[in-house]
Amino acid sequence: MKAIDVHGHIQFPDFDADRAEIVKRARDVGVKMIAVGTQAATSKKAIEIAHQFSSDVWATVGFHPNHLSKNWHHDEKEQAESKQEVFDINVLRELAKDPKVVSISECGFDFFYDKSDAGLQEKAFGEQASLARELNKPLMMHCRPSKGTDDAYKIALEILSDPKFDNLKKIMHFYAGSLDMAKKLAKLGFYFTFGGVITFARSYDEIIKYLPLDRIFAETDCPYVAPQSHRGKRNEPAYVVEVVLKIAELKGLDFEEAADELYENSVKIFNLK
């Protein structure tokens, strides 16, 4: 089997003690991975890791919406430094020129905890979407709406409906919106990633069944949200196999058939070399 964990954070400090072993465990089960940046520091580290494990890892560059707020949370699993970064698109642009960078991510909108000003989020998102268009790299988004709404997705949809973004590859990471919103996004050409949560929560079943397989990617979002067999523990790229298995089950497909199509789709859309 071959698989690609299209959205994880193998570069985070939570993996510093055993990163090589984790990459090997993934390799042993046929899994490669994309290390997703959440600010300049974690993006730079992702690039370093991608060069270190050049056959198994690629990187992204981006600035997470929750890092824009003055009352941001320092997550020791994520950031080595406790000092908050200032968003600077020019810093991200230079990092994104590295040949191991395959996407602009992780950027978007997060209204779940109401931490970041909507105006700041919109400005940062617009600049990163334009950077993705400028460099011809896919835009992989973090959109987390207010409880019971699709508000974060609606704003992203409005911005990316501009004809200048027609040729931009648009990917919703960890999609958790409604089926109706998924239909609207799919109509505009969006792709969707799903992770370990689909192995124990049934609210994703209908959406995955609706979406064509060539619009879906498998991810872990490691070190967070481990699948059922490792629930409550640190997640890692090798566990994406469980996600692929669940997607195959929901789509009524043979595991190897689904795995092959998900793999080839990931290689094609992210232009993995």
pLDDT of amino acid 80: 85
Q: Are 141 and 113 in contact (CB under 8 A)?
A: no
pLDDT of amino acid 116: 74
Q: Are 240 and 227 in contact (CB under 8 A)?
A: no
Per-residue pLDDT, averaged over 113-136, amounts to 92
- CA 269, chain centre distance (Å): 13
**Is pLDDT above 90 for 182?**
yes
Give the pLDDT band of residue 74 (cuts 50, 70, 90): confident
Domains along the chain with CATH numbers: 3-269 (3.20.20.140)
Give the pLDDT band of residue 122 (cuts 50, 70, 90): very high
Least confident of 4-18, 80-94, 106-120, 189-203: 106-120
Beta-strand ranges (E) seen in 9-114 are 31-35, 57-61, 101-110
pLDDT of amino acid 183: 98
Cis? peptide before 237, omega within 30° of 0? no
Amino acid at 227: P
The single-letter DSSP state of residue 161 is T
User: How many C-beta atoms lie closer than 10 Å to residue 267's C-beta?
Assistant: 14
User: How many C-beta atoms lie closer than 10 Å to residue 100's C-beta?
Assistant: 18
**Is pLDDT above 90 for 71?**
no
